[in-house]
Amino acid sequence: MDDIQTATDRERAARFTAFYARDHPRVSAFVHRRVGDRGTAEELTAEVFRIAWERTLGGEEVSTGWLFVTARNLLSNHHRATARLTELHRRITDELDRAPASGEDSAVLKTLEPDAVRTLRWHSGVRPSLCRSDPSADRLQPLPE
């Protein structure tokens, strides 16, 4: 957050802090009831208030109703993204006749050195000759056909 220089900025920050303290629990509960996962609810709620803060810095007023509409829109985006990811996993499973890697698997792979990833891919049935290392991404990419 930038340094708050003027009295107007300090007043705006104080109003937003009071607004946040008053409405955060209700927005968080609203989001949590709809996603069922505390971590996802916290992320989405934080995004609601990040957007609200940006609007406040721009001089726009933000109301409690606006927070709930924004939360609803972010929930819609989240549900659409989840549906797309689920469909993608289903298609991968159908085409490869095996389950796709989980999010945890992907997180572990991101921490590995490229040589270790190549070794794992080789043991998973991807021939090294069919892949090249992409140094900028530190992961294997299929060779163009």
- One-letter amino acid at 32 equals H
Phi, psi of 33 (to 5 degrees): -60, -30
Q: What percent of the chain has pLDDT over 70?
A: 64
Per-residue pLDDT of the chain (145 residues; tens, 9 = 90+): 455 567 788 888 899 999 999 999 999 999 999 999 899 999 999 999 999 999 998 888 899 999 999 999 999 999 998 888 888 878 877 777 766 566 666 666 667 777 776 676 655 554 444 444 444 444 444 444 4
What's the burial of 90, exposed, middle or buried (CB within 10 Å: 0-12/13-18/19+)?
Answer: exposed
- Dist. CA 25–CA 33, nearest whole Å: 12
Cβ–Cβ < 8 Å for 62, 56: yes
pLDDT, tens digit (0-9, with 9 covering 90-100), for 121-139: 655 554 444 444 444 444 4
Cβ–Cβ < 8 Å for 30, 64: no
Distances (CA, A) of 57 to 45, 68, 74, 113, 118: 18, 19, 20, 42, 47
